[in-house]
Amino acid sequence: MIQRIQSVYLFLVALLSAVLLLGVYQKNWGLVFEGTSLMVVLAESTFTLIVAIGSLFWYRNRQHQFVLNRLNLIAQLFLLGFFVYRSLNLSGGAQAPEKGVGMLIPIFSIVFLVLANRAIKKDEDLVKSADRLR
């Protein structure tokens, strides 16, 4: 499991999702939410964490791992869109303290998910080419 590069990428995605969950929960990194938006962000970051960990431990079935990564990618894009929408609706322009570095976490997660899917696709192609030689 650990010898595959996509496992490292998925571990980084899970780590970033956990950091985002803790940052939103503790209201650090300039991510200040209240009411319904706090619940949406907490639920979405918890979902992405669970899917990333599930995909990490589902290393024997590459097709399901690929699909789970796609689902996590969509969830991360939704979370990034929510952060951008929220930051554009805050008053104070670029000087607002609520706009923080926490918005970058979904971007890094998306990059790592794309890299993991690319590595899974390479593994799948390698297995198909080895099956063809038999």
Residues in the chain, total: 134
- Which parts of the chain sit beneath pLDDT 70? 1-2, 25-36, 90-101, 131-134
Number of domains in the chain: 1
What is the span of the domain harbouring residue 53?
Answer: 5-133
**DSSP assignment of 46-98:** HHHHHHHHHHHT-TT-HHHHHHHHHHHHHHHHHHHHHHHHHHHTSTTGGG-TT
Please state, rounded to an integer, the average pLDDT across all residues of the chain.
80
**CATH number of the domain that 123 lies in?**
1.20.120
pLDDT at 91: 63
Amino acid at 78: F
pTM score, whole prediction: 0.81
Q: pLDDT for 81-117, tens place per residue?
A: 888 887 777 665 555 455 566 778 889 999 999 999 9
